[in-house]
A and B are shown apart, each in its own frame.
Chain A
């Protein structure tokens, strides 16, 4: 990834590209994905939203090679997941919804090393990469903890460290916070935010508030890509939101209903905007 000669940072190479990608499950009347085309450029952070059944999970499975497209093209760092799954798994890490399902080893550091063991990485290098990955998710001192004694947020960070140790260029986050409480969610989102500069990220979620800082948001509905827009445009398009069963987070929803801008993100920002407005209007009145 550091060497432009290897291709991943050279001009023409994309982190992910899909062209006219289609897939139907056996026996289903409707296609799960229908002619979906998009690109994820190196270093981009792109959100994926849409209703249940819209095609989000199918897209993730096509990208990591668990499913094979009926037609169209999918590439991850120039490799075809269906025919080169082992190559793709070096370039792509997937963080799943429920951290309980992915942790296997007796100690945190063994769990983080698991992916590297399967790749046959030499022991000294493995040690370095595991230590670095544990640092990247802020779990120094947890190396000898048993995963089952950790909180949900900590477990999800262990799972993330396991992905980072493999040093993929592309990360897919498949609803990584939906099993976490508010504190765990914040922890994981902060770590993901810190990785932005180094990784290309596709973040699948039902929480629009996790995507306020994304470069773009893809909206999948009924298997079709119905929008590929900036967060600002998605949040301020009530029709797009309604048609795709998206709901604004509470704070921007309150703000809009009060005639204030939807880009107020925190309760503090909203409270201040309300005070400013009511305060000044009271004085002039």
Chain B
């Protein structure tokens, strides 16, 4: 699906002395089958922004369009099935006695038959490498396992857009790599993924486009190379190394991902 935000403003506690304008006119599209990375400092509006994508928050002004249709005219339950949102620390919402029951909770309310629900639970646990956890209690799992189970619960809804808010916070590097591989896999299967992260190295590895927010506004949007080389203070370690060398070594180009950067550095003459 095509998801579009048009000039979205959001004011928390509007009309009170505590009013805070968290978004100040954000326009942004999420294209089918892309990974969009959203970066920005704490308080820049990242979480507020993604909560508009399934109308968990309604814009104070501006609009959200799904395939060019005003999202407020769609059925909310349908919109939220199509646009799945995984919150920060989603494992806090695990509640069922077993992993498979927890993952089945939402899809079993879609009116699917029992077999279809079971199939979806199996498939989403498989995609997350958590099939061996199916009969365990979610409360006896490690942090990384809980996170994967919580994401499986949203994936089992069959979303067309999957939004992940800081999905790797608190995960060990190997589990993080696995989650990034999953994101690429979902993208290749045609699902759009929006990833909110303060880890620039991680966004550099996985994003097709990057949107940098600052103070409730879009500060830069484009390919990772455009955004990071255009704004060195936002750049991940790979780009910072390459930027420092580019003045004397313009042949380096604009590498972003670790592998690209390593290959470009290895290709420098004199090696």
Footprint of B on A, CB under 8 Å? 25, 27-28, 50-54, 57, 97-98, 151-153, 175, 178-184, 206, 245-247, 249-251, 253-254, 257-258, 267-268, 270-271, 274-275, 277-282, 285
In the assembly, what is the distance between CA of A98 and CA of B265, in Å? 38
B270 interface neighbour in A175, A246, A279, Cβ under 8 Å? A279
Contact B172 A181 (CB under 8 A): no
Expressed in whole angstroms, the minimum distance between the Cβ of A285 and any Cβ of chain B is: 6
B177-199 interface mask toward A, CB cutoff 8 Å, 1 = contact, 0 = none? 10000000000000000000010
- Taking A52-B175, A182-B198, A270-B241 as contacts, is the C-beta distance between A25 and B258 under 8 angstroms? no
**Chain A residue with minimal CB distance to B248?**
A275
Q: Which 5 A-B pairs have the closest CB atoms?
A: A53-B142, A52-B144, A245-B174, A247-B173, A271-B244
In the assembly, what is the distance between CA of A52 and CA of B40, in Å? 27
Residues 213-271 of B at the A interface (beta carbon under 8 Å)? 236-238, 240-241, 244-245, 248-249, 258, 261-262, 265-266, 268-271
In the assembly, what is the distance between CA of A183 and CA of B173, in Å? 21
Contact A175 B144 (CB under 8 A): no
- Taking A258-B262, A270-B241, A282-B270 as contacts, is the C-beta distance between A53 and B174 under 8 angstroms? no
Contact A151 B43 (CB under 8 A): yes
A52 interface neighbour in B41, B171, B261, B266, Cβ under 8 Å? B171
B143 / chain A contacts, CB cutoff of 8 Å: 52-53, 57
Whether, in the assembled complex, B89 has its beta carbon less than 8 Å from a beta carbon of chain A, the answer is: yes
In the assembly, what is the distance between CA of A45 and CA of B140, in Å? 31
Whether, in the assembled complex, B169 has its beta carbon less than 8 Å from a beta carbon of chain A, the answer is: yes
B268 interface neighbour in A54, A180, A278, A285, Cβ under 8 Å? A278
A-B residue pairs in contact (CB < 8 Å), sample of 6: A27-B137, A51-B172, A254-B237, A254-B262, A271-B245, A285-B270
Whether, in the assembled complex, B62 has its beta carbon less than 8 Å from a beta carbon of chain A, the answer is: no
Q: How many A-B residue pairs have CB under 8 A?
A: 111
Contact B42 A267 (CB under 8 A): no
In the assembly, what is the distance between CA of A282 and CA of B269, in Å? 7
In the assembly, what is the distance between CA of A277 and CA of B95, in Å? 57
Whether, in the assembled complex, B145 has its beta carbon less than 8 Å from a beta carbon of chain A, the answer is: yes
Interface centre among A97, A250, A285 (most CB of B within 10 A): A250
Whether, in the assembled complex, B170 has its beta carbon less than 8 Å from a beta carbon of chain A, the answer is: yes
Residues 50-99 of B at the A interface (beta carbon under 8 Å)? 88-89
**Chain B residue with minimal CB distance to A281?**
B270
Expressed in whole angstroms, the minimum distance between the Cβ of B258 and any Cβ of chain A is: 7
Whether, in the assembled complex, B28 has its beta carbon less than 8 Å from a beta carbon of chain A, the answer is: no
Expressed in whole angstroms, the minimum distance between the Cβ of B102 and any Cβ of chain A is: 17
Expressed in whole angstroms, the minimum distance between the Cβ of B22 and any Cβ of chain A is: 13
In the assembly, what is the distance between CA of A220 and CA of B268, in Å? 40
Contact A183 B237 (CB under 8 A): no
Whether, in the assembled complex, B123 has its beta carbon less than 8 Å from a beta carbon of chain A, the answer is: no
Contact B169 A178 (CB under 8 A): yes
A27 / chain B contacts, CB cutoff of 8 Å: 137, 140
A278 / chain B contacts, CB cutoff of 8 Å: 249, 268-271
In the assembly, what is the distance between CA of A179 and CA of B271, in Å? 40
Contact B268 A25 (CB under 8 A): no
In the assembly, what is the distance between CA of A53 and CA of B144, in Å? 8
Contact A253 B258 (CB under 8 A): yes
A50 / chain B contacts, CB cutoff of 8 Å: 172
In the assembly, what is the distance between CA of A51 and CA of B176, in Å? 11
Contact B170 A206 (CB under 8 A): yes
In the assembly, what is the distance between CA of A271 and CA of B237, in Å? 11
Whether, in the assembled complex, B206 has its beta carbon less than 8 Å from a beta carbon of chain A, the answer is: no
B198 interface neighbour in A180, A274, A282, Cβ under 8 Å? A180
Contact A52 B172 (CB under 8 A): yes
**Chain B residue with minimal CB distance to A277?**
B270
In the assembly, what is the distance between CA of A282 and CA of B248, in Å? 13
Expressed in whole angstroms, the minimum distance between the Cβ of B210 and any Cβ of chain A is: 15
Contact B42 A152 (CB under 8 A): yes
Contact A267 B265 (CB under 8 A): no
B169 / chain A contacts, CB cutoff of 8 Å: 178-179
Expressed in whole angstroms, the minimum distance between the Cβ of A149 and any Cβ of chain B is: 9
- Taking A27-B140, A254-B238 as contacts, is the C-beta distance between A274 and B245 under 8 angstroms? yes
- Taking A151-B42, A181-B42, A254-B241 as contacts, is the C-beta distance between A246 and B262 under 8 angstroms? no
Expressed in whole angstroms, the minimum distance between the Cβ of A182 and any Cβ of chain B is: 7
Expressed in whole angstroms, the minimum distance between the Cβ of A261 and any Cβ of chain B is: 15
Contact B42 A247 (CB under 8 A): no
- Known contacts A152-B42, A251-B237; can you find 9 more A-B pairs with CB under 8 A? A52-B171, A98-B89, A181-B41, A247-B173, A251-B241, A258-B262, A271-B245, A274-B265, A281-B271
Interface centre among A25, A178, A280 (most CB of B within 10 A): A178
In the assembly, what is the distance between CA of A281 and CA of B270, in Å? 5
B43 / chain A contacts, CB cutoff of 8 Å: 151-152
Expressed in whole angstroms, the minimum distance between the Cβ of A176 and any Cβ of chain B is: 11
B9-48 interface mask toward A, CB cutoff 8 Å, 1 = contact, 0 = none? 0000000000000000000000000000000111100000
**Chain A residue with minimal CB distance to B174?**
A245
